[in-house]
Amino acid sequence: MASTQRRRVGLMTAGGDCPGLNAVIRAVVKSGIYQHDFEMIGIEDGFLGLIQNRMHVMSTDEVSNILTVGGTILGSSNKADPENHAVLENGRWVRRDVTEDVLAHCRQWNLDALIVIGGDGTMCGANHLIGRGLKIVGVPKTIDNDLEGTEVTFGHDTAVTIATEALDRVHTTASSHHRVMVVEIMGRYAGWLALRAGLASGSDVILIPEIPFDLDVVARMCQKRSTRGKRFTIIAAGEGAAPRGGDMVVDHRDEGSPDPIRLGGVAKLVAGEIEKRTGLESRSIVLGHVQRGGTPSPYDRILATTLAHHAVDLLAAGRFGELVVVRDGKISSLPIASIAGKVRKVPLDDPMIRAARGVDTCFGDT
């Protein structure tokens, strides 16, 4: 890429949005301009903006007053993939490699380097572009907390807080009506969100993708509680949880997306089966995108700002191809290539699982 007098740094938010993205944008733009005199270029709607050549010069004014605002002022998309981009042609989705368009647009905008904020899908795309010569530093985000290599991603803490509050609220209505309430929590193929919210809310049953559940075991737990005089049960169900020997419940396929599977429906399945097996009145609730919206928690604002600042420092030092991570509680970095395409699941011996079992929380396995 050609270089100009001031180094030009592109910035994008890609994949599903999450609280804290604006905090990263603010910190990257401010540190980039104030500390390094970079010219900051905002790429709109993630990889889609690179593919469609939609970018603009950013000023510190544009990022003023956004620290506490959810979503992303740059927009995002979880449908764009330079190597395997879905295009609707004559009513059919076809995949095209549009990498050359992306590289041409980067040259046209004289981008020296990019800061890419995203989750696992985004880091796969970033890794592909690194292989084609782009200089990229990654910042990890996702409410799912499932990005390999980092102990935590910003957005997760806020989502845990929202899901916990929902479970707390469900508690009182479940208790009034003596019902089993099954609350479906996002997280895709990893159970971090359901596990943390379930533990924080004292849910009686926590179902996560890492531990296949047996409906008879879950039903027995509800019955046991009922017999003991506890006339309600709260079940926190990760959307990727699946019955033993069965499959995850898919709501629909989004063929325009690199990962077309959209999970959904496990809470309804569990509530229906529990009612059938126990006679206890059961209801299901899907929290959905509420978990991704609204103002980031203070923890996420701090994490987002710290990760962003480190990413700008790496870029200024010419440390390209790295993802900023949290390891052993400290900010560091590792090669994007080493984590691309990997999902970080909850280990079965995680202290949170052990602690939950210790207070008689049922995971549906025993």
Binding residues for ligand F6P, rule: CB under 6 A, are 16, 78, 142-144, 186-188, 239, 262-263, 292
Find the shortest distance in angstroms from Cβ 167 to ligand F6P. 16
The runs of H, that is alpha helices, within the chain are 21-36, 47-52, 99-108, 120-131, 156-177, 192-201, 215-227, 266-278, 298-316, 351-358
Contact 141, 114 (CB under 8 A): no
Which residue has its beta carbon closest to ligand F6P?
A: 186
User: Does 365 qualify as catalytic in the annotation?
Assistant: no
Q: Which helix (H) or strand (E) holds 333?
A: strand 330-335
Find the shortest distance in angstroms from Cβ 78 to ligand F6P. 5
Residue number, 210 or 239, with CB nearest to ligand F6P: 239
- Which residue in 17, 81, 144, 157 is the catalytic one? 144
Residue number, 58 or 186, with CB nearest to ligand F6P: 186
Pairing of strands 39-43, 55-58: antiparallel
The C-alpha atoms of residue 112 and residue 69 are separated, in whole angstroms, by: 29
Find the shortest distance in angstroms from Cβ 289 to ligand F6P. 6
The C-alpha atoms of residue 108 and residue 103 are separated, in whole angstroms, by: 9
Residue number, 49 or 118, with CB nearest to ligand F6P: 118
With CA atoms as reference, report the closest residue to 63 among 32, 19, 105, 17: 32
The C-alpha atoms of residue 235 and residue 210 are separated, in whole angstroms, by: 16
Residue number, 41 or 197, with CB nearest to ligand F6P: 197
Find the shortest distance in angstroms from Cβ 156 to ligand F6P. 10
Contact 291, 165 (CB under 8 A): no
Which of the residues are catalytic? 144
